[in-house]
Amino acid sequence: MIGRKDILAALEGADQLPPFPDVLIRLETELSQPDVSILRLASLLEEDVALVAQLLRVANSAYYAGKTRITSVADAAIRLGMQELRSIVYTAAVIGRYRPVGRLNMPRFWSHSLAVGMAAGAVCRLCKVAVPKKVYESAYVAGLLHDLGAIALTQWFPEESFAAQVAMREHGGTASAYELEMWGIEHGEVGGLLAERWSIPVSIRQAIMHHHQPWLAGPEHRTLVRVIHIADFICNNLGFARDESAFPNWFDPEAWDALGLSIEDSQSIIGQVRAAADKSIILTKFLV
């Protein structure tokens, strides 16, 4: 039986998982510049030939395709805009490096992660409180990476992770609750610690670490964490979970209220989440 110490020891090694893509760290640096240049951005991304191939494949997919075919990163930036380009680059770079591990259903896992990222954008748009620009910009990436710890746990401890899944299916409850009960640590904390090792921006780290417990996030990061918490909850309860037999998740009503959301908003959010989930399935087919 593994415990918290075993998982933290595996995290210290963390050699079995590929490192966080360096191109994404450099991308964030470039996008943070006040005079961000499409040409500099294109030059940076074009150093990763495999990434560019995936980027163009997605940009020319049925979902994004325009009247003319995109043939370069600069074309993609002009047609899609910087924010959408950033989202696709993250998607291609992350999914392209994390191949099937253990018994994890990778297409379903990434479809869920993509759906949460896109649903987070819908939640941001419907909030009745002021949502900082940085939260909008980080919502998709935070959603995409929110279950990063689950990949790590499945990679390091495949049999124990599968046993936790079986127990959850048989008895109900959430993966997070079973992990805490069985191991003394859950995938959110594991993902947050891994993100810290990789120097992922702190707001996104907080969203990964606390997406099941948004009240634990630092006050300055709580809006983003609440957005991811709600997006994850809705995706799971509409049947777009990372495990086909997952039970409906509990959610924090304080997070809903703090974002200024109402019952009337729920139908609009559900409609947008369904559209996001459909889009995520299309993109997953191109990347997994």
Tokens linked to 17: 């998982």
Same domain, 77 and 9: no
CATH number at residue 119: 1.10.3210.10
Identify the domain containing residue 92 by its residue range: 18-97
Instruction: Give the residue with greater pLDDT, 128 vs 173.
Output: 128
Mean pLDDT of 78-83: 80
Same domain, 109 and 162: yes
77 & 128 share domain: no
The tens digit of pLDDT for each residue in 92-146 reads 888 777 666 667 788 888 889 988 998 999 899 989 999 998 899 899 999 999 9
Of 68, 97, 126, the residue that ends a domain is 97
- Nearest C-alpha neighbor of 238 from the set 70, 85, 80, 122: 122
In the chain, the percentage of residues whose pLDDT exceeds 70 is: 92
Give pLDDT, residue 35: 82
Residues 110 and 151 in one domain: yes
Give the confidence band of 16 by pLDDT, cuts at 50, 70, 90.
low
Q: 36 Cβ partners below 8 Å, 6+ apart?
A: 30, 82
Residues 218 and 141 in one domain: yes
Q: Using only the alpha carbons of the chain, give its radius of gyration.
A: 18
Q: Report residue 76's pLDDT band, with 50, 70 and 90 as the boundaries.
A: confident
Of the candidate ranges 38-42, 86-90, 206-210, 276-280, the one whose mean pLDDT is the lowest: 276-280
Q: Is 102 helix (H, G, I), strand (E, B) or coil?
A: coil
Note whether 106 and 93 are same-domain residues: no
Chosen domain end from 40, 72, 97: 97
Please list, in sequence order, all residues whose beta carbon lies within 8 angstroms of the beta carbon of residue 30, skipping any fewer than 6 positions away.
36, 40, 41, 44
Number of domains making up the chain: 2
Three-state DSSP class for 156? helix
Q: In the predicted model, is pLDDT for residue 67 greater than 80?
A: no
Query: Which of 62, 97, 132 is the endpoint of a domain?
Result: 97
Could you tell me the pTM of the whole model?
Answer: 0.88
Q: Are residues 262 and 197 in the same domain?
A: yes
Whether residues 87 and 110 fall in one domain? no
Straight-line distance from the first to the last Cα atom of the chain, in angstroms, rounded to the nearest whole number = 32
String of DSSP letters for the chain: ---HHHHHHHHHH--SSPPPPHHHHHHHHHHTSTT--HHHHHHHHTT-HHHHHHHHHHHTSTTT--SS---SHHHHHHHH-HHHHHHHHHHHHHHHH----TT--HHHHHHHHHHHHHHHHHHHHH-SS---HHHHHHHHHHHHHTTHHHHHHHHH-HHHHHHHHHHHHHH-S-HHHHHHHHHS--HHHHHHHHHHHTT--HHHHHHHHHTT-GGGS-GGGHHHHHHHHHHHHHHHHTT--SSTTPPPPP--HHHHHHTT--HHHHHHHHHHHHHHHHHHHHHHHHH-
- Separation CA 2–CA 19 (nearest Å): 24
pLDDT band, very low/low/confident/very high, at 253 (cuts 50, 70, 90): very high
Are 107 and 76 part of one and the same domain? Answer: no
Q: Of 9 and 95, which is predicted with more confidence? A: 9
Q: Are residues 61 and 133 in the same domain?
A: no
Q: Is the pLDDT of residue 19 over 90?
A: no
